[in-house]
Chain A
Amino acid sequence: MSVITILDSFDKEVLEQSYEKNGFNHSYLLRKKDDIIELTKRLKEEEYFLETITAVDKKEKIRLIYIFNKMQKVHRVAVYLDIDYSEDVPSLIDFFKSADWFESEVYDFFGVKFTGNPNLKRLLTPEGMEGYPLLKSWKAEED
């Protein structure tokens, strides 16, 4: 089953990105955040693996990016989720164990909480760190 057929049943917006131009074979913006669970389940059945999870601060919202890929032949699928700053997102830890650290990293830098991940912690920043440094509102201290 191709990824297009899988994504047929989801409420989404197709983004115009191509492998030659952006490095993603397919890009989709999911309109409902809970769909990510069902989608991940379907993609895992089709032998995709989770390449990474990251986020971008779009100034009014946070955009999460889930990158899936196939090992046999490259087929990189970027799935986007737009969320508010204080919004929680379901965790993918039931499907991919690597999501544990990926999600912790996003939590560490953006403050996004992933519900269902029991190990969510500040992974890289030092102890006693306040704020979430990759938010555009966070400013580094002057020397």
Chain B
Amino acid sequence: MDTEKHVLKDFYVNMGPQHPSTHGVLRIVLKVDGEKVMSSETVLGYAHRGVEKMAESKTYIQMMPVMDRFDYVSSMLFEWAYVGCMEKALGITPPERAEYIRVIMAELNRIASHLLWAGAFLLDLGAFTPFLWLFDARERIMDMFEEVTGQRMTNNYFKIGGVADDLTPEFFKMLDEFLNMIRKRMADTETLIESIIFLERVKDIGFISKEDVINYSLTGPVARGSGVNYDLRKNEPYSIYTRFDFEIPLGEKGDCYDRYKVRMREVIQSVRIIEQAVSAIPEGPFAEKAPKIVKLPEGEYYFAVETSRGLLGVYLVSDGSANPYRFKLRDPAFSNLSILDTMLPGNKISDVVAILGSIDVVIPEIDR
């Protein structure tokens, strides 16, 4: 019998654009041999909205709310990069209290983002309970945001020269409750998560070497999971981050488990920063006077912050008018995702979910 006729050659599986584990509209074309991935191709652009072109016909202020809509789970960190870039151009320094408020809000946002990631990651791997535990904690952060900014997400809270509104006494009460519960909640969840079933799914798969971190311009927890000590809060300190005592958690091997571990430990470090900021926050104004119509001096400006996914740079070119001449985002998830096609071959289809999850991508940020 001629067996060759029955051999299935070049079998392709389309993962996404509508797939629950891609968290948005990402498409991965997998070439498979049985359960094994032979090669893959990442297809982007399903959430492309042409924001960089749009920016050229909007004023600087009109672009503020748009910044929330890239990475909607850590939106205030994106606001910070944009506001910081304009402040650099205008030579405005926010008052002390505003700097502290920014740090508190940004770190809360980082925690919220990591909690959402961890919950969704575990949900993808089939664990349901941690999702509920972590989302309960995240919900308290959302409530705090609502108290201060009026919105749970897409806050539009950072302004040139400070923030939009002062923190309320009610906020500090909620924050206090949150800080009292979060350490125990993280410890409890970790004991819940780290069963043999989870470890088998994430340990020793999806390796990223230190050389590849440089080669693919990886940043954030993805780089730190491979043991590369790169965090802008330490390596390029902006705002008042030099005043706080915190560590940068690092992984050793660079597998999915290390990246998971790094994010979970980062939550605790962010809690430490918030605790220090709350005890040191001074009284005073929460915003500097800023011009109503923003016109940046002619030239180019670049400002970078550490978001929950890595290095986010905002590059603005101004011709002196009220609209940006060029607006460019150097976003972390874009570079972080570019390594996926190299990582997948040789793994099982079920591991694709774990590897993609461990990179932590938010699609609107990549597609722009």
Contacts and interface: CB of A to CB of B under 8 A. Distances in A.
B215 A22 contact: no
A98 B236 contact: no
Contacts of B304: 23
Interface stretch (B30-38, B153-161, B168-176, B295-303): B295-303
Contacts of A44: 214
A62 to B, nearest CB: 11
7 contacts: A21-B88, A52-B313, A54-B315, A71-B228, A98-B217, A124-B48, A138-B53
Contacts of B85: 23
Contacts of A140: 50, 53, 57
B114 interface: no
B217 A134 contact: no
A113 B365 CA distance: 25
B212 to A, nearest CB: 8
A96 B45 contact: no
B52 A98 contact: no
A44 B90 CA distance: 34
Contacts of B335: 98, 101
A37 interface: no
Interface residues of B, number: 41
Interface in B299-322: 299-304, 311, 313, 315, 317
B325 interface: yes
A124 B325 CA distance: 21
B30 to A, nearest CB: 17
> Chain B contact residues: over half helix, strand or loop, or mixed?
mixed
Contacts of A123: 44-45
Contacts of B339: 97
Given A24-B302, A134-B52, A50 B235 contact: no
Given A56-B325, A98-B215, 8 more contacts: A21-B88, A24-B300, A49-B217, A52-B217, A54-B328, A57-B326, A74-B236, A101-B334
Most buried by A among B216, B228, B232, B339: B216
Given A124-B48, A133-B50, A67 B302 contact: yes
A67 B217 contact: no
Nearest to B52: A134
B338 interface: yes
Interface of B: 44-45, 48, 50, 52-53, 57, 85, 88, 212, 214-217, 228-230, 232, 235-236, 299-304, 311, 313, 315, 317, 325-326, 328, 330, 334-335, 338-339, 342, 367-368
B216 A98 contact: yes
A51 B217 contact: yes
Q: Enumerate the 8 nearest inter-chain pairs by beta-carbon distance, A residue then B residue, closest first.
A: A23-B302, A74-B236, A98-B217, A52-B330, A124-B45, A71-B230, A101-B338, A124-B48
Nearest to A20: B88
A26 interface: no
Contacts of A138: 53
A22 B300 contact: yes
B217 A50 contact: yes
A123 B47 CA distance: 12
A35 interface: no
A35 to B, nearest CB: 21
A124 B212 CA distance: 24
Interface string A20-49: 011110000000000000000000100101
Contacts of A56: 317, 325-326
B183 to A, nearest CB: 30
Contacts of B367: 124
Nearest to A105: B334
Given A74-B235, A134-B52, A51 B330 contact: yes
Contacts of A17: 299-300
Contacts of B228: 71
A86 interface: no
B302 A98 contact: no
Interface string A123-143: 111100000011000101000
